[in-house]
A and B are shown apart, each in its own frame.
Chain A
């Protein structure tokens, strides 16, 4: 579903990603781990067509970037640490707006389904500005899955969430992944990443320095794997 070959991204003289190779098969849930400044967000922005690669080949859902970016965007959902929601619109109005932007027709029932999935059906008529951070993040996920994308990218989805909100988000992510969608998630929360992902990649100094499947982890310890990957 995602194929990245020798990707390099430069901002001026600074190289953020260097000759990065990355492959994700359909239905995989990949946790992209790495320290701050490793290039995780830049990498997800390139995959989502918000930023262009300086060099290298990027293919998402069979379409190459940046040439076929509109086709890629139609098959992609993105959740970042910012909600990408309008505070002066209701939850329902926000989803209606994005439904129109994605060209969905007869979207009323789809919006109801999504609001039920994310547990915000009773608050559908409330302004987003009255929502807690956790509720906004759930609505942000609703926005991302509204058009039933094949691939979902999560960039630090747990940022700023308390324990209860994080647990709800865990359940939501499991539910999304169980529908066979391909997921790439960046996170600093190794314990949460371990409970959700089927593969762990470590991005450090602009390169994927280690990759392992969940089944191959020793005693399911992603922390040891992460430490070794950063030290190597």
Chain B
């Protein structure tokens, strides 16, 4: 990794965080949506302890996946609407630095939302097993895979007129392995299974993360050029 690559990546992360903490547009949208989904599930589902234990992983990952698309769309729309994507592409750096910068910012926003939603979920559903370190590790691995694919695809869909509709249509089929593995692994942790028992979905998550980070690194340049 050359110094300009690292500098450019850090510059994009710093810029995204500074702009977001000033405007709070993206985080507000993601958080409001997440809280509403958690509340709707709370009313819609039967809250006896057995059902709660079964649905926790599914409810959380559904919430994060849909809230994540809001963030991904908004994050790239900021670059596209005022021509800033051209500004980034005109910089004399490897264009995969743009991918890593945007992906790390998107991951930071998703993790902030998760950090706020988890205590709320624990409060509403009286479920404290989601604070185990294994659960947090699965959350991190799942979020990395989701954001790697999501950032790549949002860079593609942002160039279309129907970007808000197109992103989830393209993203969810591709990200299904991450969601299945994340739900399986998180569900198993909540149900007190041992580490060897959850290694299979964990391995799938790790492999998916590595593959999609590598694929994004290789193809981002082709995706953003005309």
Task: Find chain B residues with CB under 8 A from A86 CB.
Answer: 15, 19, 78, 82, 84
Return the chain A residue nearest B3 by Cβ: A103
The answer on a CB contact under 8 Å between A52 and B84 is no
| B162 smallest CB distance to A (angstroms) | 19
Q: How far is the CA of A100 from the CA of B20 in the complex (A)?
A: 19
- Contacts A84-B82, A89-B18 given; indicate if A103 touches B7 (C-beta within 8 A): yes
Q: How far is the CA of A127 from the CA of B94 in the complex (A)?
A: 29
- Contacts A89-B15, A97-B15 given; indicate if A78 touches B90 (C-beta within 8 A): yes
Task: Find chain A residues with CB under 8 A from B14 CB.
Answer: 97, 100
* Residue interface bits B82-123, CB-to-A below 8 A is 1, else 0: 111011111111100000000000000000000000000000
- Could you tell me which residues of chain A, from 85 to 132, have a CB within 8 Å of some CB in chain B? 85-89, 93, 97-98, 100-103, 127
Task: Find chain B residues with CB under 8 A from A80 CB.
Answer: 83, 86
Interface size class of B (residues with CB under 8 A): 20 to 34
Residue B226 at the A interface, CB < 8 A? yes
Residue A83 at the B interface, CB < 8 A? yes
Residue A137 at the B interface, CB < 8 A? no
Residue B11 at the A interface, CB < 8 A? yes
Task: Find chain A residues with CB under 8 A from B225 CB.
Answer: 50-52
- Contacts A100-B11, A103-B4 given; indicate if A83 touches B83 (C-beta within 8 A): yes
Q: How far is the CA of A143 from the CA of B91 in the complex (A)?
A: 11
Residue B23 at the A interface, CB < 8 A? yes
- Contacts A52-B225, A88-B22, A101-B91 given; indicate if A82 touches B15 (C-beta within 8 A): no
Residue A207 at the B interface, CB < 8 A? no
Residue B8 at the A interface, CB < 8 A? yes
Return the chain A residue nearest B78 by Cβ: A86
Residue A2 at the B interface, CB < 8 A? no
Q: How far is the CA of A143 from the CA of B90 in the complex (A)?
A: 11
Return the chain B residue nearest A69 by Cβ: B92
Q: How far is the CA of A86 from the CA of B12 in the complex (A)?
A: 12
- Contacts A88-B22, A89-B15, A100-B11 given; indicate if A83 touches B82 (C-beta within 8 A): yes
The answer on a CB contact under 8 Å between A101 and B8 is yes
The answer on a CB contact under 8 Å between B22 and A84 is no
Contact of A48 among B4, B7, B8, B90 (CB under 8 A): B90
| A106 smallest CB distance to B (angstroms) | 13
- Contacts A89-B19, A93-B18 given; indicate if A50 touches B8 (C-beta within 8 A): no
* Residue interface bits A197-214, CB-to-B below 8 A is 1, else 0: 000000000000000000
Task: Find chain A residues with CB under 8 A from B226 CB.
Answer: 45, 50-52
Task: Find chain B residues with CB under 8 A from A101 CB.
Answer: 8, 11-12, 88, 91, 93
Contact of A88 among B11, B19, B90 (CB under 8 A): B19
Q: How far is the CA of A55 from the CA of B108 in the complex (A)?
A: 42
The answer on a CB contact under 8 Å between B23 and A50 is no
Contact of A102 among B15, B23, B78, B92 (CB under 8 A): B92
Q: How far is the CA of A102 from the CA of B89 in the complex (A)?
A: 11
Residue A71 at the B interface, CB < 8 A? yes
In the complex, besides A45-B226, A88-B19, A103-B92, 13 extra interface pairs with C-beta distance below 8 angstroms are A48-B90, A50-B86, A50-B225, A70-B93, A73-B92, A85-B87, A88-B22, A89-B22, A97-B11, A97-B15, A100-B8, A101-B88, A101-B91
List the interface of chain A (C-beta within 8 A of B): 45, 48-52, 70-71, 73-74, 76, 78, 80, 82-89, 93, 97-98, 100-103, 127, 143
> What are 27 pairs between A and B in contact, CB < 8 Å?
A50-B90, A70-B93, A73-B90, A76-B90, A80-B86, A82-B83, A83-B83, A84-B82, A84-B84, A86-B15, A86-B19, A88-B20, A89-B19, A89-B22, A97-B14, A98-B91, A100-B7, A100-B10, A100-B14, A101-B11, A101-B93, A102-B91, A102-B92, A103-B3, A103-B4, A103-B92, A143-B87
User: Lowest 6 CB-CB distances: which A-B pairs, in order?
Assistant: A82-B83, A100-B11, A84-B87, A74-B92, A101-B91, A88-B19
